[in-house]
Amino acid sequence: MVAKRIIPCLDVKDGKVVKGIHFEGLRQVGDPVELGAAYAREGADELVFLDISATFEGRKTFASLVERIAREIDIPFTVGGGIASPDDAARLLDAGADKISLNSAALADPSLVSRIAGQYGSQFVVVAIDARKTGGDASPFWTCTTHGGRIATDRELFSWAREAQERGAGEILFTSMDHDGTCQGFACELYACLHESLSIPVIASGGAGSLQDIVEVLTTGKADAALAASIFHYGTLRIRHVKEALRDAGVPVRLS
């Protein structure tokens, strides 16, 4: 059985890790290289670094940060933010990233997924989807958003995830905007449905607040990996303790 993964997420703004609620009210948490290295030592399976203020100049700065990360961290890491062309992806992969994450630019031009996957392989491409519920409970519609959740699109979560898979995405990283930063649990039923509709791994993001939340999204929610930020940044949970609890609950994990 394939091991479930625990993935800390580091949102980077102006060279510092930040965290907020619903992508707003950001405050600095620490240095991305130092935090990433600490999480690697604690047993994280992978890391995700997102440049959430990626202007052109910001992307160049971020590439140099990726080089620093690659020198200090010995586990796979994904980088995203402002990637709008195969050249942008090449710059980050050449700097040492193991995967790149596409979001707003892929929604604007879905062929971007195909072009990057065709050039580098599906294993290098993660399509991140930020969506929020806009329909009622009787007939919910999960609307995909762009630009850090600020702009709604006419795309629906499940149809876009399936298209991204068909275009060559190797993984889907789905964040429920309604749950992000709340520490009140994942949208487990939604993740289970997404898992059933896809043949590629699903990374769950948005809402981790307790050990039980992570256990539930990896079991009931059928997610292949759980991504979290606040609970690790603020020391609410330690990665090894999470993995030990998952093992005790019968969830396959890698423990060193």
Q: Decide if 224 is catalytic.
A: no
Q: Decide if 180 is catalytic.
A: no
Q: How far is CA 195 from CA 55, 147, 161, in A?
A: 33, 25, 10
Residue 37 to residue 59: CA distance in whole angstroms: 22
Q: Which residues contact 208 (CB under 8 A, 6 or more apart)?
A: 183, 185, 186, 214, 217, 226, 227, 228, 229, 230, 231
The one catalytic residue in 51, 130, 178, 224 is: 130
Q: How far is CA 30 from CA 8, 101, 180, 219, in A?
A: 14, 22, 20, 31
Residue 227 to residue 208: CA distance in whole angstroms: 8
Radius of gyration of the chain (CA): 17
The one catalytic residue in 11, 51, 88, 213 is: 11
Question: Cβ of 171: how many Cβ atoms within 10 Å?
Answer: 23
Catalytic residue numbers read 11, 130
